[in-house]
């Protein structure tokens, strides 16, 4: 999701290279995010090659921001407790 927060759309190969994941590992993560409706998938042909791109949904963006807020609160509470 972090990649999709800064890019409007990202293709499978770019995600794979950026995140350094195997095809299967990335596909399973993307499937889970799609099922949660955090991203949408667009499949098309470029020339004769299939290309799959991913876009974060508004719900996915909000969920990711909420996740970051929760992590920030956790970090701040641990710093204050030190």
Q: What is the pLDDT of residues 47-70, one digit of tens each?
A: 999 999 999 999 999 999 999 999
Would you list the DSSP string of 6-65?
HSS-EEHHHHHHHHT--HHHHHHHHHHHHHTTSEEEEEEEETTEEEEEEEE-HHHHHHHH
Q: What is the reported pTM?
A: 0.83
Binned at pLDDT 50, 70 and 90, residue 79 comes out as confident
């Amino acid at each position: 999701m972090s990649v999709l927060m800064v890019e409007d759309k990202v293709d499978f190969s770019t995600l794979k290279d950026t995140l350094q994941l195997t095809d299967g590992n990335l596909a399973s993560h993307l499937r889970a995010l799609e099922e949660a409706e955090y991203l949408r998938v667009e499949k098309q042909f470029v020339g004769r090659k299939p290309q799959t791109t991913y876009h974060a949904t508004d719900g996915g963006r909000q969920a990711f921001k909420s996740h970051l807020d929760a992590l920030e609160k956790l970090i701040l509470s641990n710093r204050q407790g030190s």
